[in-house]
Structure 1
Amino acid sequence: MGSPLGDFIRARRDSVQPESLGLPDWGRRRAPGLRRSDLAVRAGVSVEYLTRLEQGRDRNPSVAVVQALADALGLDPSEREHLRYLSKITGGECTAHTRSAPPRREVRPSVLETLGLLEPGIAVVTNRLGDLLARTDGFEAVTRGTGLLDADPPNLTRYVFTDPRARGFFADWDEVADERAFDLWRGPSSESFEWFTAELAPLAGPDFTRRLNGHVIPRRGPLRLNHPSGCELELVREVLELPSDEQQLIVLLPADESTAQAVDRLRGRSPGRLRAV
């Protein structure tokens, strides 16, 4: 039986091209990427120990080993943070990673008040499941007619993986899908596990399951949208983490003047009204 830590190390090893690290190209191989022996040498561990880590038979690497593996794989800051997170939760996976409490869906009054101050901007409060808990009229104007708000309650993860309109709305659908799968994996509870295994996974199919277990670290660049009205929007995301609530306040800002003008047309410059779900 594997482990999230082992799966991540193996996935990153498979994605590294030896020449990018100054290593010789050994020619055609059965598996892509970096050989296990090369990674072991670079990290200063034995091949046997690396094998145990990747197969989930060793779940408690030291901080020094985790750092050495990050250096050997050439991980960027977000990948390093995820590797450290996996090393913490893998040893006590059942208790540390899967929480019994369901995700909070109530939005605190002070957060709602903050959201109201952002009108007529584009902002939304969400949790890691993708529930859209509260939103501004600006957000509703930009997503109106896309199908995202059709469900009651609306959920971004379900929309991305089960609504065909999502692939047209998100210009970079693959990246958004990776984001949703990653956030869902990072924010589990017994309720969310039941939800995505019993309800979401059968509808979303193997592509969702592959992403969920792939540990692809999202790039989270500008959000590019193809609005049904014909507008092409590019929005910069600013995220305020609300750790005590396990929620996020996400503000979307026009990345260029053409997007700003299109957003103005979509929301009609009308006074904003806060909408909570």
Structure 2
Amino acid sequence: MDAELGDFLRSRRARIQPEEVGLPGHGRRRVPGLRREEVAQLAGVSVDYYIRLEQGRGPSVSDAVLDAIARVLRLDDTEQEYLRTVARPAATRRKSVSGPAPQKVRPGLRLLLDTMDKAPAFVLGRRMDVLAWNALGDAVVGFSQMPPAKRNMPRQVFLDPHARELYPDWPAVAAETVAYLRLDAGRHPHDRQLATLVGELSLGSENFRRLWADHQVKEKTYGAKRMMHPLAGELSMPYETLTVSGEPDQMLVVYTPKPGSQTEERLKLLASWTATPQTAGS
């Protein structure tokens, strides 16, 4: 994760132009954005200290220094959280040497999914693995048709040949997926299954490799997604993502079609074609 910290800092200073922080921008520059010595100067630390930090060989870094670097690099709240996580991985290193425990969805949450018969909903776990879903969620996305060992949203987005047909705004969906996966990797730097997933996606998708190298991080909270369903047609659905109480690595994702909209009517038709509700999880 030391390399992860350096890569993240380099990617973030590359996007800040000198003129934006009151520095002269004229003259030749070998790298885009700010130089390391400029970040150090603006953050109020020595150049040697910042270089050692970016190279992953510095001492334990204080909140004040991280706050100053975050200010200089104009990090948003999610990026600041990520910076702190990758800058202080010691506590994480002591955990899960043998790998994370199997992910399970508690019965009450499964029951909640089944009662949500008007909105597609599903539960995501670590690495964006799909752990459970309701009948309408399955009808929209097709979770039950995925091999259980491959039931994972990044795999669907980047390795499913039909993903670009399902998601008309595929570039945006792909970028958001990678940004959250990168955030998850920062929180769990020694998750071997995640490392395997990243390797699989990197080998299978040039787009994933490019987006992963960009080091964007983004929390999954709420938004909107368009889908082109093979039976129901175009679906335009806002969504809300809720952290499951007692299970911080699990998220309940619920699509919330606008009342009276064409999407709501199409989902009703799709629900009428759906067989007996199916929920599943690992």
TM-score class, shorter-chain normalisation, is 0.7 to 0.9
Q: Describe how 1:146-157 pairs up with structure 2 within 5 A.
A: 149-153=144-148, 154-157=151-154
Query: Does the aligned pair in 2 maintain the 1:160–1:166 contact within 8 Å?
Result: yes
CA shift at 1:99, angstroms?
Answer: 4.6
- Deviations 1:244-270 (CA, angstroms, capped at 9, x unpaired): 473222212125734333333332387
SS at match of 1:275: coil
Gaps spanning 5+ residues in structure 2: where? none
- Measured against aligned partners, the alpha-carbon deviations of 1:32-61 in whole angstroms (never above 9, x if no partner) come to 112222211211011221111111121521
The one of 229, 246, 250 aligned to 1:247: 250
**1:231 paired residue number:** 234
CA offsets, 1:86-120, max 9 Å, x none? 2221x456435x65333533211122122223223
- Contact 1:121-1:138 at 8 Å conserved across structures: yes
Q: Distance in 1 between matches of 2:274 and 2:56?
A: 56
- Give the Cα separation in 1 of the matches to 2:198 and 2:75: 30
CA separation of 1:252 and 1:41: change in aligned 2, threshold 3 A: same
Contact in 2 for aligned 1:181/1:211 (Cα 8 Å): no
Matched residue SS, 1:276: coil
> Per the alignment, in what secondary structure is the counterpart of residue 131 of structure 2?
strand
Q: Is the 8 A contact 1:103 1:246 kept in 2?
A: no
Larger mean Cα displacement after TM superposition, 262-271 or 150-159: 262-271
Aligned mate of 1:123, from 121, 124, 130:
121
AA partner of residue 234 (structure 2): C
**Are 1:136 and 2:134 matched, yes or no?**
yes
Partner of residue 112 from structure 1, selected from 106, 110, 113: 110
Cα separation, 1, equivalents of 2:47 and 2:63? 18
Q: CA deviation at 1:13?
A: 0.6
Stretches of structure 1 lacking an aligned partner (at least 5 in a row): none
How far does residue 129 in structure 1 lie from its aligned partner after superposition?
2.2
Check whether the contact 1:242–1:248 (CA below 8 A) recurs between aligned residues: no
The one of 258, 265, 268 aligned to 1:261: 265
Rounded Cα–Cα distance in structure 1 between residues aligned with 2:97 and 2:212: 18
Mean CA deviation greater in 174-183 or 110-119: 174-183
1:168 alignment counterpart: 165
Q: How many pairs does the alignment contain?
A: 271
TM-score of the pair, normalised by structure 2: 0.81
Would you say the 8 A contact 1:100–1:190 is kept in 2?
Answer: no
Computed over aligned residues only, the root mean square deviation of the Cα atoms, in angstroms, reads 3.0
TM-score (norm 1): 0.82
CA distance in 1, matches of 2:144, 2:19: 47
Asked whether the 8 Å contact 1:120–1:137 carries over to 2, the reply is no
Deviation at 1:69, TM superposition (A): 0.6
Residue 41 of structure 2 corresponds to which residue in structure 1?
41
Change (3 A) 1:253 1:272: farther
CA deviation profile, 1:12-32 (whole Å, cap 9, x unmatched): 111222333343323552211
